[in-house]
Structure 1
Amino acid sequence: MNIKLFLVLTLALFFSTVGHTACQRGGGLFDDKDISTSLASLPPSIVITNDNYTAGTVIATTGWSQGNNDQLTIQGCGRSYVVGFFYLGSPQVEAAAGTQIMPTNIKGLGVRVTAMNQAGPNDGATVVDNNWHSGSGSREDHTLRNSQYLVELVATGGPITPGTLQVTGTLAQVEFRESASHSADGDVASNIVLQNTQVVLKAIGCNADTSQINFNFNTLNVTDFDTQTRAGSAPDQTVNLTCEPGTNVSLSVTAVEASGDNANHTVMALTGAGNSDVASGIGVQLGLKARTYDSGSDGLPLNKNVAVVSSTRSGSEYTSGGAQAQEQLVFSAVYYKTAATVTAGNANATATLTLTYN
């Protein structure tokens, strides 16, 4: 009688254990049963332009981040188990199922998380889309071999508003469930944790302290050009720029080029050239000296884009070089002899100076 009772209890315990095993992190006695967590970091700051971004343009990326449990096993799932790919923070968690690029608190900027090596049919790269995906239909163990995540900041189309992007630390996760419900039997298998939850987006560009520059020459004699090509004395003019560090600054001088000996296309024609009251045989040549650019004796080219301050970038993520917070552009002007004979007269010239920031 005692033996029969013992057998009944043993069978009861056996069936009880099987009944409570459903899509759980498991494996052997000494296997790591913790969630496979991938750690990643976004750039702390990103320089953006004032342009209209094409939807889908990747602004920044973490690169693929490997999880800390490279052999996590999910066991005990029924044949109809599902795998959920979900965000955990707002506003991503409220987005509709199937959304590939999730909204953020920054207008014009979204986030896309891609998971890989999540076992079975989900071993390939799968975008986290707040949706349930079919499992393999097998009751066998499901092993996440080298679980990985990729986080990308993606333009949603149009301009991106400067500001501070805020995201949750644990951004997204993959979970195995017996049915399509977060409360169904199952376990979280992997997740992605961002080590920085704020990214500052800075609008690239500069502000100039003046909208025009003027050069006032003293009276010159025609004989001043007998022994020299350049003549005239006008005080230099300085344009001060206040910039977002990393900005590329270029400029162009739009003007009518002088005829004759026009070195490197740098000499402007005088206003009203050819009229009887206008000097002939000369033009005006501008020069520019900046922290990283000096036209020197060559003069500033006309009707051509000139890179004054340049940076090196990898997309929009990182900047080195480019403008500092304060930059100075020092312009000079001289009269330049363009013909063998110089005649007296008025000697004025105008040009349009355009500064471009990107």
Structure 2
Amino acid sequence: MDNFTEDFMDNTSAWKLTADWPRRNWATDWTPGAKEYIFATFCGVILLIGGIGNSLVIYIVARYSEMRTVTNYYIVNLAVTDLAFLVCCIPFTTINYLMYSWIFGKTMCTFVPYMMQVSVQATCITLAVLSIDRYCAVVHPLRSINFRTPKVAAITSGCTWIGSFLLALPLGMNLQLIEVDYFGPLKICTEIWPSSSAKRSYTLYTFLITYVIPLVICTVSCSLIVRSILNRFSMNHAQEADVDAKLARRTSCMVVGVVVLFAVCWLPNHVINMWAVFKPVMQNISETTAWLKTVALILCYSNSAVNPFVYTLLGKNYRRCIKLSFPCLFRQERPKQGSVVTFSAKDASAKAATISCFGPDKPK
């Protein structure tokens, strides 16, 4: 869950108190500043790019049967978790950030933060499962062939969501909509824990299950994958790698790239959240800290938007299927007169679509 309001609302110095502040009304006099508008702008761009990119990944795998591999099943699940996070998080957080008050009611106060936590947890578990899947495919290709099936991948993805719903229950049971008087009535959707120790325990629990443990699993799996690939290179450096080996390396690089982005994008937010809970009692929170939290949130959200670009940059099959799906956006070079061009069965549909977009060649 995004704890920005909870972390910084407890200290009114985040808004630079002035001498006349006690005579001002929060609800009527509060206006967003540069930080709020910058945050909202970045969030809008991230939501647009992430929504299109992740939807495209799901569409490509659903449309083309050759893309329905075990690894791509997990990648689709990762795209679904990213979409769920973006939809459940960005619109509500942005409005709450601009207005600094929760306007969506008590029911949404429980549902939205809970689903944010569920989607984040599902993302972390899926990344761990995806890295283990690549480890089995690269290091133990023969022994894993029996259980690395699309059916098992679909069942595992379903279990990922079930586990995420269960792991996030402590948060859902402690969310409340409260009204505070910060120089005027203000509604805040926040976590109310029985004690400060309970709050610290849950923060540490969240840090472990949504960052440390998945990252350790991913790091170990990716390290073993890299070592296995390097060993193969050293053994067969004089021979040209076959197509399957190149595909395995490319797919493994894709997984490593996604894991590295996850580690980098989520670390600042986790560090700030841990500091906000475990810090000594402080009277002031600086404007610099507020800006750091804003940047950390933008990094978190951007992680869900950049994953599709990793798939397309490192996944040759994704690029090919995108070109087949949207031939109007990728003008093909027309063959020179007198040259002979052959088309495979897969390219026939792309050729037909290209003709429908640009028209057939005119007779000369």
The higher radius of gyration belongs to 1
Scaled by the length of structure 1, the TM-score of the pair is 0.19
Scaled by the length of structure 2, the TM-score of the pair is 0.19
Decide which structure has greater strand share: 1
